Amino acid sequence: MATVESLVAQIQGLSSSAGDLSLLLTHLKQADEFLHNESTRLLPFLEQLDPTLHSLGYLYILEACTSWPVTNEQARRLVLILSRFLISCVADQIRLAPEKCTNLSSLWIKFKMCLICVYCFSMHLIDASYLFELVVIAVCKSFKDQVLMLEAPIRGVVPLLEAVKKLRSSEHLTTLHPDFLQLCLLAKCYKTGLSILEDDIFEVDQPRDFYLYCYYGGMICIGQKRFQKALELLHNVVTAPMSSINAIAVEAFKKYVLVSLIYNGQFSTSLPKYTSSAAQRNLKTICQPYIELANTYSIGKISELESYIQTNREKFDSDNNLGLVKQVVSSMYKRNIQRLTQTYLTLSLQDIANTVQLSSPKEAEMHVLQMIQDGEIYATINQRDGMVRFLEDPEQYKTCEMIEHIDSSIQRIMTLSKKLTAMDELISCDPLYLAKVGRERQRFDFDDFDPVPQKFNI
């Protein structure tokens, strides 16, 4: 009769070659029911295996371990084990056991979806690579639940980053991307989250994943003061196709208004024409306090802006946007100082304080110094007489670094252009697209006919 000890020994001895792995797979399938019966005592045996060398056996035992509810104490051990597996597992071994993905997927996918996966694989409608992706996703979903239950999101950041790298290409958005960004937000690991936000995404599986990816990504960029990138990501949520309004789009729109004020100093209430009708109709009404904030900001008076914020403080606080609203106030001071640079060559700190409505020359000096450090203005301060001299942008756009930057930007645009052309050609040949276009066009299109009859030579 098989024992867990003997099975572990088989896993250790039959994981070196393709032939051995095939034999091991047979033993594991025969012992599958036994492993589930012994699931409550399997965790210690996983520590005897190396997920890099024994990925196949590790997966079978791991799947059996996660088939029963765990306590907090067991979750602490399971988090470490899942981390090792996600970081170190070998895809080629995992693909030998595609049916395990359906069992692991039952942790987060409905039973019907699991049956579909089994059917599709048996009918050769999906390949082992896709099933490997489902395995990794299922393990990651379970892993994320464990670290959140332990209130230790930082323990999940690195393993999920490794899992994201293992899945397909950087151009494909999976359901793990928003999960990883959520953990980065909760753990305040903003720089780590930025590592996947630089990739250009061309393929999306589920709309909700795209909404959450852009929303969480926007929040991470806000945390890093990268407002331009944050604005781009939040814009993607607001203008994305949607048949009905959703909570993610509403929260993204609120932050979109605030970031627009911080970065651009203004907000346009007219959304692009490609924005869905659901968003066009509902977002401005639902987020009316933020629209009124933008209108108050456009007046340019600090006192009126602060008065409006104080009146609606509870609303902004309940939306967890009060910190961002305070940055809007700070941006108005900066915007007003920037306007002075367009009018004056020199100005005293006292005059800047009076014009911008700051409390003292010292506070004006702090704002000017911060703006110089951030590259928002170019100026020098004479400490002796308290005079500020505004300068022109010193960048001559002829340094080696600037030329390399411009060249890399041109190369990226050319790559994007080729990618978009290829996608356009692919869509134009898609049968579903052609059928839809054919239904919408009139039966006869006069542009298809020549305006002048052709002569026939007899």
Q: What is the pLDDT of residue 144?
A: 85
Tokens of 52: 């890099």
Tokens of 53: 């060398």
Burial of 290: CB neighbours in 10 Å, binned 0-12, 13-18, 19+: buried
CB–CB of 293/257 below 8 Å?
Answer: yes
Q: What is the pLDDT of residue 134?
A: 64
User: Which of 198, 324, 186, 358 minimizes the C-alpha distance to 255?
Assistant: 324
| Phi then psi dihedrals of residue 204, to 5 deg | -130, 130
User: Which of 147, 315, 313, 331 minimizes the C-alpha distance to 231?
Assistant: 331
Q: What is the pLDDT of residue 112?
A: 32
Residue 118's Cα: distance from chain center in Å? 30
| Phi then psi dihedrals of residue 344, to 5 deg | -115, 150
Mind listing the pLDDT tens digit of every residue in the chain (458 residues)?
468 888 888 888 888 787 888 888 888 888 888 888 887 778 788 878 888 888 778 877 877 776 666 666 777 777 777 777 777 777 666 655 544 544 444 443 333 333 334 334 444 434 445 555 666 677 777 778 888 888 889 988 988 888 888 765 667 888 889 999 999 999 999 999 998 898 888 888 789 999 999 999 999 999 999 999 999 999 999 999 998 999 999 999 999 999 999 999 999 888 899 999 999 999 999 999 999 999 999 988 888 999 999 999 999 999 999 999 999 999 999 888 988 988 889 999 999 999 888 889 999 999 999 999 888 899 999 988 889 999 888 877 778 888 998 999 999 899 889 988 998 898 888 888 888 777 766 554 545 545 544 544 44
Listed as own residue / partner, the contacts of 228-237 with beta carbons closer than 8 Å and 24 or more positions apart are 228/263, 229/197, 230/255, 230/259, 230/263, 231/256, 231/259, 231/260, 231/263, 231/264, 233/197, 234/259, 236/210, 237/211
Q: What is the pLDDT of residue 111?
A: 31
Q: What is the pLDDT of residue 201?
A: 85
Q: What is the pLDDT of residue 321?
A: 95
Q: What is the pTM of this model?
A: 0.74
Cα(136)–Cα(134) distance, integer angstroms: 6
Cβ neighbours for 98, distance < 8 A, ≥ 6 positions apart? 121, 128, 131, 132, 135
Cβ neighbours for 121, distance < 8 A, ≥ 6 positions apart? 98, 99, 128, 131
User: Which of 344, 331, 282 minimizes the C-alpha distance to 305?
Assistant: 331
**């970065």: which residue's tokens?**
263
